[in-house]
Amino acid sequence: MSTPPRPLLKSITTTPTRPQDASQPVDAAAVGVPKGVAEGVPTVVRPEPQQGDGRYPVAWLTICAPYGSTPTASSRCACGWERRAFGHRRVLTLITEHTEHRDICPLRTPQEGRDTA
C-alpha cells in the first residue's frame, strides 16, 4: 500500500527558522511638521464659535404615538414639573396641561413685581 498523495493547498507558507528584523521605513522624517506647511500657520481652520441669542430650552413635551399601539407623552420643565400620560385621551389632556404650565412657570414668568393673589 502506498500513501495517498498530499492534497494541494491554496497557499503554503514556509516557517522561518530564526527571528527576523522588522522592516524599517526609508526616508522618513523623525521630527517636525509635514513638508509644505509654513511655520505659524494653523493646520486646521476652525469656524468662529456660535454666539447664542440668549434663549435656551426650559420645558420639553415628548409624544410617542406608534401606529396601532397606545400613545404616550411626557412633559418636563426645568422648574421641576414632570408628568407622564398613557392613552389617547390622557395624552391630549397632558398637552393642554403642558401649554397651561408655560403660562405659570416661575422660570418663564418671573414673580418679582407681580401682585400675588
Instruction: Kindly report the pTM of this predicted structure.
Output: 0.49
Residue 17, Cβ density class (10 Å: 0-12 exposed, 13-18 middle, ≥19 buried): exposed
pLDDT tens per residue, range 50-74: 666 777 778 899 999 888 899 999 9
Domain ranges in the chain are 59-104
pLDDT tens per residue, range 3-46: 777 666 666 677 777 777 777 766 655 565 556 656 666 566 66
Closest by CA position to 75, among listed 63, 87, 90: 63
What is the spatial distance between Cα 65 and Cα 94, in angstroms, rounded to a whole number?
Answer: 14
> Residue 104 — φ and ψ, nearest 5°?
-110, 0
What is the spatial distance between Cα 89 and Cα 67, in angstroms, rounded to a whole number?
Answer: 16
